Amino acid sequence: MLEIDEISKTIGTKTVLDRITLSISSGASLAIVGESGSGKSTLARIVMALERPTSGVIRFNGIAAPHKKTSDFKDWYRQIQFVFQNTTASLDPRMTIAQSLEEPLTGFTGMGKNERKERIAEYAEKVGLPPHLLAERPGRLSGGQYQRACIAKALVVKPKLLICDEIVSNLDLLHQHQIIELLHTLKIEQQLSLLFITHDLSLLAGLCEEIAVLKEGQLVERFASSAIHASGHHPYTQSLLNAARSLGRRASE
C-alpha cells in the first residue's frame, strides 16, 4: 500500500535521510523508532507530501506523492492523515473542536452540512471525546482530550493510513496507555494502517507488526515486533531496547 522507495533528504550539507526503503501493506502497521534527530519527523513529512525528498519516491497504492498543491493533494490527504507531536499547535485556538473537525470534511470531501455533523459526532464518540466538548475551544481541553480531538480530526475523512509522530510523548503514563489502546481499537475497527513514530520502544507493545530503526538518517534494522525480545539485534537497537526496559521498570516501581 505505502512504499517508501530510496528516500534521501539533504538539508544544507547534512544528510538527514539516506536512501530509506520501507513499505507498509494494507491493514498492517509499522513503527519507526530512533533517537531524537534521527530523521523520523522529516520522513513523516515527506510521506505526507508536506516536504519533498532530495531523491526517491513515495507511492501510495502505486501512485506517486503529489508535487504541488494540485487536486491530487486532496486524494493524498483523504488517504493519509497525520497527528503530530506539537500538541498545542495542531488545533486552531480560535475555533471550536467541532469547527476544527469540520475543516478536513469541507476541504477534502463533498459532504453536506448534516452529513458532516453526523460524521463529527460519530468520530468524537469513537475517540472517546465527550459530546459537550465539541462546542469548546482547544484551550479548555486536557492533554489527553486534546490528543483525542487531533486523532478525531485526522480520522473524520476515513484515511487508510494514519501517521502518528510522537503523539503520546507529552502525556503521562496513564494517558499514554489510553491513547495507545484507542489506536489499537481504531486500527482493528477501521482497518487502519499506522505509521507510528516514537523514540520510546516501550510504547510499541502489540500496536505494530513491524519495527524499523533509524539512526542518523540510516535504516539500521527492520524486524517483526514479535522478534523484539530475540537476540542478535543491531547494537543500536539493543541500546534502545535497554533504555525502554529501564523506563518500563521505573514506571512499574
Q: Which residues bind Mg ion (CB under 5 A)?
A: 40-41
Q: Within 22-51, which residues bind ligand ADP (CB under 6 A)?
A: 34, 36-42
Least Cα distance to 191 among 24, 15, 46 occurs for: 24
Strand 55-60 relative to strand 2-11, pairing: antiparallel
Indicate which single residue of 16, 83, 194, 195 sits in contact with ligand ADP (rule: CB under 6 A): 16
CA distances in angstroms from 179 to 114, 130, 143, 165, listed in the order given: 29, 15, 11, 13
Q: How far is the CB of 219 from ligand ADP (least distance, A)?
A: 13
126, interface contact from Mg ion, ligand ADP, none, CB < 5-8 Å by kind: none
Pattern 59-98, binding to ligand ADP, x per CB under 6 A? ----------------------------------------
39 or 144: CB nearest ligand ADP: 39
Smallest separation, CB 83 to Mg ion (Å): 13
- Smallest gap from residue 6 Cβ to ligand ADP (A): 18
Question: Dihedrals φ, ψ of 107, to 5°?
Answer: -75, -40
According to DSSP, the β-strands at 161-165 and 80-83 are parallel
Alpha helices of the chain — where are they, by DSSP H? 40-47, 72-79, 97-108, 113-126, 143-155, 173-189, 235-252
Contacts with ligand ADP, residue ranges (CB under 6 A): 11, 16, 34, 36-42
